[in-house]
Amino acid sequence: MKEKLIDLFDYTYHFNKEMIKIISWNLPKVNDKTISLINHTLNAQQIWNSRILGEKSFEVWQINPFEDLNDINHQNYLKSIEIIKNFDLDTIIEYQNSRGAKFENSIFEMLFQAINHSTYHRGQINSLLKQEGIEPILTDYIFYKR
């Protein structure tokens, strides 16, 4: 199970990197919503990792300096892999969401949420890129595995 989860984070890392690249190549054309969504995508993974590790987290919708996005993506990836390798994925973590509501989920559920959430927002970003006349990138998992 851990190997499969690592593979999904490899996929997530790869296509987050590709999204950052295509946005950077087309920065003058992309709108604020696109910038907001790529930041939110990376912020959310950082937040889930931080909840598991008990660290300080980003704000959900904070805008990071664009030149920092690749490093944030890389740090997110390393922390997610560290969690997978060093924690029991069935461990239940109690945390608060951004509105202060308390929840409990397993580490596996939290990590899978981070993966699924980024896939969802990459799809939204692709739609926005297409609206701006920018060729979207194919980010389906199967294309990654081919």
Nearest Cα neighbor of 80 from 105, 36, 103, 114 is 114
Q: Is 14 annotated as a binding residue?
A: no
Which residues are CB-neighbours of 4 under 8 A, at least 6 positions away?
Answer: none
Geometric angle at alpha carbon 145, from 113 and 79, rounded to 5°:
40
Report residue 37: phi and psi, to 5°. Answer: -70, -40
Separation CA 85–CA 77 (nearest Å): 12
Separation CA 55–CA 121 (nearest Å): 24
Q: Is 74 annotated as a binding residue?
A: no
117-134: buried (b, 16+ CB within 10 Å) or exposed (e) per residue?
bbbebbeebbebbeeeeb
Could you list the residues known to form a binding site, using ranges: 40, 117, 121
Could you list the residues known to form a binding site for a divalent metal cation, using ranges: 40, 117, 121
